Amino acid sequence: MDSQEPPLADDADTQRSVQRGGRAGTASNRLPFRLITGGLLLLLAAAALFSYEHAKRLDARIAQFDATRGAVERGRALLATAREIEWRRGILSVDTARDDLKAYAQTLDDLRPQVAGLRGSGDDDALLTELGAILDQQQTGIADVLDGSASRSAMPVVLPRAPTTALRRDAEQLVRRLSEVNDAQRVAMTTMIHERTVATYVTLALLGSLCVLAMVLGSRHFDALRLHEALRTEVRETRRERDEKSSFLALVSHEIRTPMNAIFGFAGLLRDRLRDPADRRYVDAITDGARALLTLINDLLDLSRIEAGQLKLQAAPTQLGDVVDSVVALFTRQAQDKQLPLVAEVPAQLPMLQVDADRVRQMLINLLSNALKHTQRGEVRIVLALRRSDGDARARDVQLSVTDTGVGIAADELRTIFEPFVQGQRSAAGRRAGGSGLGLSITRQLAQMMGGDISVRSEPGVGSCFTIDLPALALAGQDGERALRAVDDAAIAVPPSDRASAGEDEDTPPRSVPAGLLAELELLQREQWPALNETLTMSEVRAFAAELERLAAQGAWPSLARYATDLGRGAADFDVAAVETLLADFPVRIAALRRGAGSLARGELIHVA
C-alpha cells in the first residue's frame, strides 16, 4: 500500500465520516443543479419579456404604416378630384358646376382633419402646413364663387386656373412624399420582421443550448451521485477488508506467538543444561529462527497499525546515547562473527529528550541489521549528532546515521527502497540473507510520524549511508554529563582505537550479575513464567513485573528495571501483544544474565531482521 494514502479511521469514526461525506456530497451535488434550474427560468423569463416588448414595438410600427398608407390613398383621391375639377373648368359654368363645387368643398372638409392627423412625421410637417393653407384658400375661393353666383346666375363663371393648378401640384407633391414615406416604412417593416425572425431563432437556439447543457450537467450530476455511492461502497468494503486483515493478523500473531513462547522458553532451559558448545549452537540456531519469525510478525503488525492509523507514539524522557549503546550491544556478536568493526560515535554530553525510545531503537535496529547483512568487509558505523533547533532553545535537532562499506545500492533501486515489501538486489549474498522488505518502509513511516524523515546516499561497490533526521525534539531535563559512559548490559563493540572517543574506559570490565538476583530470577522463570505465558492474566503479570522491579532495585540493575516497568505498563494497558513479546523474551534475558553479558532493553530481540 502506498505510504501516502491516508489511513482509514476506526469503525465508528469511519461510519460518521462516510455519513457526513454522503450528506455533504449530496448537498454539494444538488447546489449546481438548482443554480442551473434557476438560471434557465431567468433566461426563459428574459426571453419572454424581450419577445413581448419587441411585439409591442412591431405592432406600433405596423399601425403607423397602415395610417401612412391610408393617407396616401386619400391624397391620391384628392388629386383625382382636383384633376377632374380642372378638366371641367373650361366647359362648365358656375351654375352647371355648382353641385361639383359643393362636392369638392365637402371633400376638402373631409380631407382637412385627415391632413391634420398626419402631422408629427418630421420633414412632412412643412408640406402639410402648406397644403392646409392651400386647402383653406381653395375653400374660401369656392365659397366666394358660390356666394357670387347667386347674383349672377346667368353669367357663366369659370374657376380660376391658378388655385386649381396649385392644388394639383401640391397634391402631387404630397402624394409623392407620402409614397416615399410609405416605401421607407415598408423597408423598415421588412427589416424589423427579419430582425425579429433572427432574434426568435437566436432565442430558440440559446434555449436549446441551455436545455442540452442542463441535460449534460444533469447527467454528470447523477453520474457524480452514482460515483459517490460507489465510493461509499468502496469505503465500506475497504473497512471490512481492513478489519478482516487486522483480525487475521491478530489471530495469526496470537497463534504463532503461543508456540514461540514455548520455543524461547524451552530452548533457553535446554541451552542451560547443555555443556557441549556444538549442542548450544544448535539451540542458538533454533532461537535465532524463532526470533526471525517473531520479527516478521511484529513488522507485519506494525505496518498494519501504521496504515490503519492505530500506531501511537509514546514520548518519554530518553537518553538517546543509551538507546544507541543498547542497539550496538545487540549486534556486537554478529559483528564479531563477521570480523567487522562496529563503531559508535556518540557525543560525551547529551540532554534528555522527549521521544519514543522504543521506536527510535526499532529504526536503528532495522538500519543496523541491513548494514551488517550486506557488508562483508570494512566497517559499520553509527553516528548520533545533535544541534540546537532554529528559533527554539528548548529543542534539539537529532540526526542518526548508519554507514556501511557494503555492496551499495543501485541508483534505480533508491526510488523504491522505502516501499513496503521491496528488497534491494544488492548481491547474491544479500538475496540469500532474505528479509521481508518491511524494515526500511517501517523506519521511514516511523520517522515521518515523529516529524522527520529518512534519506539515503549509496554507491554500488562503495557502501551506503542511511540518515534519520528528527527535528525539534523537546528537551526533557537538564543536560547530563556523559563522561566515562558505559553500557549497563555490555561494552560497546568498538575497535580499541575508538573506545576513547566513545567515552568508555578500556580497562572497565562488564558488570557481573549478583548471584542472589540471578537465583531469584531463575526461580521466577521456573515457577511463575510458564503459567503466565499460558494464561496471560494481566493481574498476575502486574504482580510478576512488581517482583522484577523489586529484584532490580535490590541488585541495582537498570536494564532489568526498565524491562519490569515496560512489562507492568503493558499489563496495565492490556496491551496483549506487548505483554506476549516481553514474556517470550524473558528466558533469553535470563540466559544472557547467566552468561554475564547483561540483559537487553525492551524490544531489542524481537526487531532483529
Most confident of 43-47, 63-67, 396-400, 487-491: 396-400
- Residue 289 counted as domain residue: no
Most confident of 123-137, 161-175, 375-389, 548-562: 375-389
% pLDDT > 70, the chain: 59
* Judgement on whether residues 501 and 525 belong to the same structural domain of the protein: no
* Judgement on whether residues 103 and 171 belong to the same structural domain of the protein: yes
Strand partners, 577: none
* Judgement on whether residues 37 and 154 belong to the same structural domain of the protein: yes
Which tens digit of pLDDT belongs to each residue from 474-514? 887 544 333 323 333 333 333 333 333 333 333 333 344 45
Widest Cα–Cα separation across the chain = 180
pLDDT at site 402: 95
Cell numbers representing residue 45 in the block: 423569463
Whether 54 shows a pLDDT value over 70: the answer reads: no
pLDDT at site 273: 85
User: How confident is residue 600, by pLDDT bands cut at 50, 70 and 90?
Assistant: very low
Residue with cell 544507541: 324
Domain boundary residue among 221, 251, 270? 221
- Residue 227 counted as domain residue: no
When mean pLDDT is compared across 139-143, 368-372, 471-475, the lowest value belongs to 139-143
- Residue 143 counted as domain residue: yes
- Residue 256 counted as domain residue: no
* 526 to 79, 112, 144, 284, 590: CA distances (angstroms): 143, 140, 158, 20, 11
- Residue 439 counted as domain residue: yes
Interhelix angle for 320-330 vs 357-373, to 10°?
A: 40
* Judgement on whether residues 76 and 193 belong to the same structural domain of the protein: yes
* Judgement on whether residues 487 and 540 belong to the same structural domain of the protein: no
When mean pLDDT is compared across 92-96, 176-180, 304-308, 496-500, the lowest value belongs to 496-500
pLDDT at site 85: 59
d(CA 239, CA 245): 10
**Of 80 and 155, the one with more pLDDT:** 80
pLDDT at site 492: 34
122: alpha, beta or left? (left if phi > 0; alpha if psi -120 to 50): left
When mean pLDDT is compared across 142-146, 165-169, 254-258, the lowest value belongs to 165-169
d(CA 361, CA 602): 9
- Residue 238 counted as domain residue: no
pLDDT at site 601: 34
Q: What is the DSSP letter of 311?
A: -
d(CA 310, CA 225): 31
Q: State the virtual CA torsion across 290, 293, 299, 300 in degrees, nearest 10.
A: -140
- Residue 20 counted as domain residue: yes
The arithmetic mean of pLDDT across residues 146-174, rounded, is 53
Domain total for the chain? 3
pLDDT at site 435: 61
| φ, ψ (nearest 5 deg) of residue 374 | -105, 15
User: How confident is residue 34, by pLDDT bands cut at 50, 70 and 90?
Assistant: low
**Of 519 and 506, the one with more pLDDT:** 519
Instruction: Write a three-state SS string for 470-535.
Output: EEEEEECCCCECCCCCCCCCCCCCCCHHHCCCCCCCCCCCCCCCCHHHHHHHHHHHHHCHHHHHHH
The one-letter code for the residue type at 94 is V
Half-sphere exposure of 114 (CA within 13 A, CB side): 18
The arithmetic mean of pLDDT across residues 357-376, rounded, is 90
* Judgement on whether residues 470 and 494 belong to the same structural domain of the protein: yes
Domain boundary residue among 221, 249, 266? 221
Report which of 271, 262, 270 is spatially closest to residue 290, judged by C-alpha positions: 262
Beta strands in 83-225 (DSSP E): none
Q: Are strands 380-389 and 392-404 parallel, antiparallel or unpaired?
A: antiparallel
d(CA 54, CA 288): 96
d(CA 437, CA 417): 9
Torsion over CA: 474, 477, 481, 487 (sign): negative
User: How confident is residue 170, by pLDDT bands cut at 50, 70 and 90?
Assistant: low
d(CA 468, CA 320): 13
* Judgement on whether residues 388 and 446 belong to the same structural domain of the protein: yes
Q: In 10 A of CB 125, how many CB atoms?
A: 12
The arithmetic mean of pLDDT across residues 63-73, rounded, is 67
Starting at the edge strand found earlier in the chain, the sheet holding 342-345 runs 342-345, 380-389, 392-404, 463-474, 453-459
pLDDT at site 1: 38
Domain boundary residue among 193, 221, 249? 221
**Of 263 and 130, the one with more pLDDT:** 263
The one-letter code for the residue type at 125 is D
Domain that holds residue 21: 13-221
Report which of 377, 367, 374 is spatially closest to residue 425, judged by C-alpha positions: 374
* Judgement on whether residues 428 and 576 belong to the same structural domain of the protein: no
pLDDT at site 35: 67
User: How confident is residue 171, by pLDDT bands cut at 50, 70 and 90?
Assistant: low
Q: What is the DSSP string of 23-37?
A: HHHHHHHHHHHHHHH
* Judgement on whether residues 363 and 428 belong to the same structural domain of the protein: yes
The arithmetic mean of pLDDT across residues 122-141, rounded, is 63
% pLDDT > 90, the chain: 10
**Of 316 and 422, the one with more pLDDT:** 316
User: How confident is residue 364, by pLDDT bands cut at 50, 70 and 90?
Assistant: very high
pLDDT at site 253: 67
When mean pLDDT is compared across 122-126, 244-248, 328-332, 545-549, the lowest value belongs to 122-126
* Judgement on whether residues 198 and 330 belong to the same structural domain of the protein: no
Whether 92 shows a pLDDT value over 60: the answer reads: no
Which tens digit of pLDDT belongs to each residue from 370-383? 999 889 999 999 99
d(CA 12, CA 193): 69
Contact at 8 Å (CB) between 363 and 609?
no
Contact at 8 Å (CB) between 470 and 336?
no
pLDDT at site 603: 32
**Of 376 and 100, the one with more pLDDT:** 376
- Average pLDDT of the chain, as a whole number: 71
Report which of 523, 566, 548 is spatially closest to residue 326, judged by C-alpha positions: 566
> What kind and span of H or E run contains 239?
helix 161-273
Q: CATH number, domain at 373?
A: 3.30.565.10
- Residue 193 counted as domain residue: yes
Contact at 8 Å (CB) between 128 and 118?
yes
Torsion over CA: 444, 447, 451, 455 (sign): negative
* Judgement on whether residues 485 and 351 belong to the same structural domain of the protein: yes
| φ, ψ (nearest 5 deg) of residue 266 | -75, -30
* Judgement on whether residues 548 and 575 belong to the same structural domain of the protein: yes
The arithmetic mean of pLDDT across residues 72-95, rounded, is 58
**Of 566 and 601, the one with more pLDDT:** 566
Cell numbers representing residue 1 in the block: 500500500
User: How confident is residue 520, by pLDDT bands cut at 50, 70 and 90?
Assistant: confident
When mean pLDDT is compared across 375-379, 421-425, 581-585, the lowest value belongs to 421-425
pLDDT at site 455: 93
